[in-house]
Structure 1
Amino acid sequence: MTTQPTGGATILEVEGLAKTFTMHLRGGVRLPVVADAAFSVAAGECVVLGGPSGAGKSSVLKIVAGTYAANHGAVRVRHRGGMVDTTRLSAREMGAVRRETIADVTQFLRAIPRVPAIDLVAAAGTGETARDEAAHLLTRLNLPERLWSLPPATFSGGEKQRVNIAAGFIRRTPLLLVDEPTASLDHANREVVVELIREKKAAGTAVLGIFHDRDVRDAVCDRVVDVTKFAPGDAA
């Protein structure tokens, strides 16, 4: 594990990033989370956002994903052959970036009522082989085949997370974001996730993630970005 970027092409570049939340239920109190965050992720590299709970790791990841808006700074991703600052994009333009360039695995499954698990995963893929790829991933993640035709709303937490992981990893995008992907998994399935991340890296995907499981983190991580270095000052 190193602290310096690798020599691959830059896929993600964060510069001068700042985020402040306004607590409307507390009289508009402003809560600075991160200030002047800066780092990059190269093709084939896994960078981990490190730091204690509350340091701003999830906020940074969500800004990169486009689900949180930044107050200041730039988030540049390699999209359609060039670097695009997603903080300046319209919702429609950001939607295109998310479809084509950014895949993510969050801690929560975006289930659709009455849609079977295998269809949910296949819908995230592309082409005629999507359903076969979905079946392959669900098999690797040890989800019983009897569950594939059922909607995952009633699945256990670990079963939902395996569907969630499959839906993220079936996508072929330059950038993959993972937020504690192994949180609800047993040892065997944690090892599968390690293998899947390594395969993505080998294929040239840039991976940015949060891992509280130290063994998983150490198995896939090339570099740690300490988010506490971006702690805002009193004037933020």
Structure 2
Amino acid sequence: MKKRTGQTAIRLGMTFTAAMAIATQADATAGMFALGFSTNQRAMGGAGVAYGFESMSAAINPANAANVGHEFQLGVDIFSPRRGFQTGANPRVKSGSNYFPVPNISYNKPLANGNVLNISAYGNGGMNTDYPANLFGAGSPTGIDLSQLFISATYAGKSGNLSWGIGPTVVVQTFKADGLPFGAGRDWSYGGGIRAGIVYQASPNLSLGLSGSSKMYMSKFDKYTNLFEDNGDLDIPASIT
């Protein structure tokens, strides 16, 4: 019973640490999902779901691939959140990791039948904290590192004013926690799901888009069965934009 209580306390503590990482990402993300996966898409604040003008547009809505010609795109974002926390009258503790490169690459190829094939690989941000503090009595620093890579193969087409797209997606994610009593090191998880979307061109100046993703079913983090529920399970939830 004591062991289970200790594990629960650690889970709650790491949830607090994760919350400190997520809180400052609110302006750039929708929960754990980015508002876009290229510099242009992020600048549009999520409106790119209904407007495709570059190869990476398929990452936010697979239907966008149908409205882009033959194109290769390569880019990288620099994500720079500032995280920290304060307890009581103690000095504020700041995370030591402040700059994160988020790469993306995409290739859009029109096919002979009039449809389009798009291959895109992109990082879904990440969540890295590195606090110079001994929060759980297991040494310093304390923090977590979660990164996710999505690889989508999208098939898209267009019928009149309606564009559609569907993309089976493979996901690789990695996780590491420091400062825990059961320091397990870096672990990897693999899985996938499917993404789909539509775009309707209502007028020359108005387009409407809808994009959705199934739950991404991931293998378990075997080194962190004591941290995550269901013995290390960290699936990526379904989403609709």
Compare CA radii of gyration and give the structure with the larger one: 2
Which structure features the higher share of strand residues?
2
Which structure features the higher share of helix residues?
1
**Structure with more contact order per residue of length (Cα contacts < 8 Å, sep ≥ 6):** 1
Does the TM-score normalized on the shorter chain lie above 0.5? no
The TM-score with structure 1 as length reference comes to 0.28
The TM-score with structure 2 as length reference comes to 0.27
